[in-house]
């Protein structure tokens, strides 16, 4: 079983989008697309499943608001009740309006930070990670589509040349 | 071109007719004099106020024992006289509240629909100034919705003049008798006086209507034009209007709503009112768009446009809550008597509408519209839209009723009928205006982008 892939390189995101659509229409399997910036609508064109990040975000927000409730109850009611402006310091619910900004901020904080971390983990990005880009130009101004070859090398090369690729390479992946 | 369906036209006429009947009933049913109020109160205390009479009885006992200690009959008579005077005053107060009730019901519905169309106008002007690429296919819907503005303005202005002519006591500072005995209001008399107030109202309403008229006119002229000059003109007048609007909107909210409680003030009130009618306006755009789409019009409006409108409904609902809470929390925390009384009245006497509005305007849209896919479903938009509109009507109810009818509030025939009447008038003016122009502004420079807009 050969591990050959094709790298089709484009220098414009519109051409790339058209190429991706054509490739999908021709039923070639797109392994990955590397772009220097997020290309709007690329995920749909590639047929990727919709992101589930929003569900994570909702869960993180729930954790955040629960944590803030627990924290403010511990700090301001249980551990060290303080009389601020004569507000009841012995009851969470009666003092709740004062804690709403904290509950809100914690919700946003948890949702935002954990969502970013989740996104990085899911994209296999972490500190000191070796870059996976097969070509450094994909960090600058080029777009690269990686397509698997199944004994149809000749056909694929000519196909990608016809889609407006500036460069088509066949690579043996190990 | 859109044609006003006969069914909808008949429906709007029925709404207006039923509304007028109900409004008339409300005015006829209001008590004419103190005797009627006395009967009313007596009937009420026989009804369900057993507890109150009980408290009164025990109170009377302790008083009599006190009197026995002092042993002065003259004290008792003085007490009786004072009590009678107080009773008289109370009756008078209730009479005024009950006489205000149909007026206040009319006023809430009138200002709600007027400001709703202003919310649409502000949203439309923002689209023009932002040179938004997604929304031009909706411009004619927005212009149709603002067609209620001149109609609403005239009715509203007439009501304001009637307030000034003492047909009612919605604005107690309009009553010279009240001002004479009230230092706080007397201090504000330089601003809160009838001539200045009505002139301000006239300037605001005329300014808004002028923008609406010329903006719609330019937009139509752009359809037949050979260049973008009308479009540019609209950009300029929209920018000017937004500056004028945000200043006048703030002052309008003090004049027409906040001055109903003339002792109380809140510095973010203008924003709060704005958020309320802005989200109502956007919701109205979404509802009318969804309706027209279901009737086979607006072929260029796709689910992405609906999705964006729903995002605005969601976002501005959160924004409204943010202001609602900011206003509430600072006053709650500082607990200054002259400020906090505003919320104490609302929480004690208006508990259900006060917190109900938060549920309808915040919790409900938050939980339903949070889901991305729901923002594209017609039935979800319609359902949430109706809840948001009712919720913001309630919000205006909460702003206006406590200062005008106090604890005598009820959402009964006068209130519902007023809403029905203005809803009917609104539907009639809006859909009549929609028939007058093609629904696609075909030569808007962004029209192609708007047609192909996808999220």
A101 near B CB under 8 A: yes
Q: Which of residues 352-381 of B touch A (CB under 8 A)?
A: 370, 372
- pLDDT, residue B454, reads 83
The whole domain housing A81 covers 53-122
Q: What is the per-residue pLDDT across A63-90, written as a single tens digit (0 to 9) for each?
A: 999 999 999 999 999 999 888 878 878 8
Burial of residue B41 (CB within 10 Å: 0-12, 13-18, 19+) is middle
Residue B50 pLDDT exceeds 50: no
User: Which residues does chain A have within 8 Å of residue B370's beta carbon, measured at their own beta carbons?
Assistant: 58
- Give a yes or no: residue A45 inside a domain: no
A41, A85, A100 member nearest B325 (Cβ): A100
- pLDDT, residue B55, reads 40
- Give a yes or no: residue A147 inside a domain: yes
User: Which residues does chain A have within 8 Å of residue B335's beta carbon, measured at their own beta carbons?
Assistant: 85-86
Tell me the CA end-to-end span of chain B in Å, nearest whole number: 27
A58 and A117 share a domain?
A: yes
Q: What is the per-residue pLDDT across A119-169, written as a single tens digit (0 to 9) for each?
A: 999 988 999 998 888 889 999 999 999 998 888 888 888 898 898 899 998
DSSP type of residue A76: I
User: Which residues does chain A have within 8 Å of residue B372's beta carbon, measured at their own beta carbons?
Assistant: 54
A112 and A154 share a domain?
A: no
A22 and A61 share a domain?
A: no
- pLDDT, residue B383, reads 95
- Give a yes or no: residue A28 inside a domain: yes
Alpha-helical (H) ranges within B30-147 are 34-47, 50-70, 73-129, 139-146
- Interface contact flag, A97 B454, Cβ < 8 Å: no
A88 near B CB under 8 A: no
- Give a yes or no: residue A127 inside a domain: no
- Interface contact flag, A58 B454, Cβ < 8 Å: no
Decide: A16 and A39 in contact? Cβ < 8 Å: yes
B343 near A CB under 8 A: no
Q: Which of residues 148-207 of B touch A (CB under 8 A)?
A: none
Q: What is the per-residue pLDDT across B410-434, written as a single tens digit (0 to 9) for each?
A: 999 999 999 999 999 999 999 999 9
A57 and A95 share a domain?
A: yes
Q: What does pLDDT average to over chain B?
A: 90
Among B60, B63, B161, which residue's Cα sits nearest to residue B110? B161
Which of the residues A17, A45, A55, A85 would you substitute to probe the B interface, choosing the one with the greatest number of B C-beta atoms within 10 Å?
Answer: A85
Taking one residue from A and the other from B, the number of pairs with CB-CB distance under 8 angstroms is: 18
Decide: B388 and B280 in contact? Cβ < 8 Å: yes
User: Chain centroid to CA A141: how far?
Assistant: 20
- Give a yes or no: residue A44 inside a domain: no
- Give a yes or no: residue A159 inside a domain: yes
- CATH number for the domain that contains residue A8: 3.30.70.120
A104 and A63 share a domain?
A: yes
- Give a yes or no: residue A101 inside a domain: yes
* % residues pLDDT > 90 (chain B): 77
- pLDDT, residue A84, reads 82
Residue A2: pLDDT band (50, 70, 90) is: low
A109 and A152 share a domain?
A: no
- Give a yes or no: residue A47 inside a domain: no
Among chain A residues, CA nearest to B372: A54
* % residues pLDDT > 90 (chain A): 54
The least confident of A68-72, A94-98, B153-157, B359-363 is: A94-98
A84 and A118 share a domain?
A: yes
A41, A54, A101 member nearest B372 (Cβ): A54
The least confident of A50-54, B75-79, B114-118, B288-292 is: B75-79
A44 near B CB under 8 A: no
- pLDDT, residue B364, reads 95
B335 near A CB under 8 A: yes
Decide: B200 and B255 in contact? Cβ < 8 Å: yes
- pLDDT, residue A83, reads 82
A105 and A145 share a domain?
A: no
B123-152: average pLDDT: 95
A147 and A118 share a domain?
A: no
B120-136: average pLDDT: 96
- The position carrying tokens 């079983």 is A1
A64 and A102 share a domain?
A: yes
Which of the residues A97, A99, A105 would you substitute to probe the B interface, choosing the one with the greatest number of B C-beta atoms within 10 Å?
Answer: A97
Complex confidence, ipTM = 0.80
A71 and A113 share a domain?
A: yes
A59 and A30 share a domain?
A: no
Report the number of distinct structural domains present in chain A: 2
């Amino acid at each position: 079983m050969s591990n050959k892939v094709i790298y089709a390189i484009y220098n414009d995101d519109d051409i790339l989008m058209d190429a991706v659509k054509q490739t999908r229409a021709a039923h070639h399997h797109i392994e990955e697309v590397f772009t220097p910036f997020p290309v709007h609508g690329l995920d749909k064109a590639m047929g990727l499943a919709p992101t589930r990040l929003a569900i994570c975000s909702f869960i993180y927000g729930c954790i955040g608001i629960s944590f803030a409730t627990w924290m403010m109850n511990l700090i301001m009611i249980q551990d060290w009740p303080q009389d601020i402006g004569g507000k009841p310091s012995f009851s969470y619910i009666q003092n709740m309006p004062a804690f709403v900004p904290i509950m809100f901020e914690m919700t946003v904080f948890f949702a935002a930070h954990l969502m970013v971390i989740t996104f990085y983990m899911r994209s296999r990005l972490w500190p000191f990670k070796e870059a996976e880009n097969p070509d450094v130009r994909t960090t600058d101004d080029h777009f690269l589509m990686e397509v698997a070859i199944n004994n149809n090398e000749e056909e694929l090369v000519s196909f990608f040349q016809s889609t407006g690729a500036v460069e088509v390479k066949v690579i043996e992946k190990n | 071109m859109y044609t006003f369906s006969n069914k909808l036209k008949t429906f709007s006429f029925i709404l207006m007719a039923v509304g007028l009947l109900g409004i008339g009933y409300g005015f006829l049913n209001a008590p004419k004099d103190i005797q009627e109020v006395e009967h009313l109160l007596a009937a009420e205390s026989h009804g369900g106020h057993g507890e109150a009479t009980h408290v009164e009885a025990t109170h009377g006992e302790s008083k009599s024992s006190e009197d026995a200690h002092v042993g002065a009959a003259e004290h008792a008579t003085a007490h009786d006289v004072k009590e009678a005077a107080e009773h008289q005053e109370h009756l008078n107060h209730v009479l005024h509240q009950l006489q205000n009730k149909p007026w206040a019901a009319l006023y809430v519905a009138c200002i709600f629909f007027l400001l709703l169309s202003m919310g649409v106008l502000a949203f439309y002007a923002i689209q023009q100034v932002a040179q938004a690429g997604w929304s031009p296919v909706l411009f004619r819907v927005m212009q149709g919705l603002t067609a209620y503005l001149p109609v609403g303005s005239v009715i509203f202005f007439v009501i304001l003049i009637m307030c000034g002519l003492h047909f009612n006591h919605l604005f107690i500072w309009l009553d010279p008798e009240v001002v004479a005995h009230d230092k706080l209001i007397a201090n504000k008399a330089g601003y809160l006086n009838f001539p200045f107030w009505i002139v301000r109202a006239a300037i605001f309403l005329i300014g808004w209507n002028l923008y609406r008229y010329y903006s719609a006119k330019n937009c139509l002229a752009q359809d037949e034009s050979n260049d973008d000059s009308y479009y540019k003109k609209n950009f300029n007048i929209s920018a000017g209007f937004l500056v004028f609007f945000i200043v006048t909107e703030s002052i309008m909210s003090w004049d027409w709503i906040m001055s109903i409680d003339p002792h109380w003030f809140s510095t973010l009130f203008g924003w709060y009112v704005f958020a309320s009618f802005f989200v109502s306006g956007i919701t109205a755009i979404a509802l009318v768009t969804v309706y027209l789409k279901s009737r086979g019009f607006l072929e260029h409006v796709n689910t992405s446009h609906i999705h964006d409108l729903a995002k605005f409904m969601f976002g501005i609902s959160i924004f409204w809550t943010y202001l609602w809470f900011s206003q509430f929390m600072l006053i709650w925390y500082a607990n200054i008597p002259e400020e906090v009384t505003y919320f104490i009245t609302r929480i004690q006497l208006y508990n259900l509408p006060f917190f109900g509005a938060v549920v309808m305007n915040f919790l409900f849209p938050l939980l339903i519209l949070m889901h991305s896919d729901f923002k594209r479903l017609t039935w979800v938009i319609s359902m949430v839209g109706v809840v948001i509109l009712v919720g913001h009507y309630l919000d205006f109810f909460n702003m206006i009723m406590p200062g005008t009818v106090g604890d005598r509030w009820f959402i009964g025939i006068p209130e519902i009928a007023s809403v029905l009447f203005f809803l009917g008038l609104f539907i009639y003016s809006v859909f009549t205006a929609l028939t007058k122009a093609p629904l696609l502004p075909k030569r808007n420079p962004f029209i192609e982008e708007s047609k192909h807009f996808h999220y």
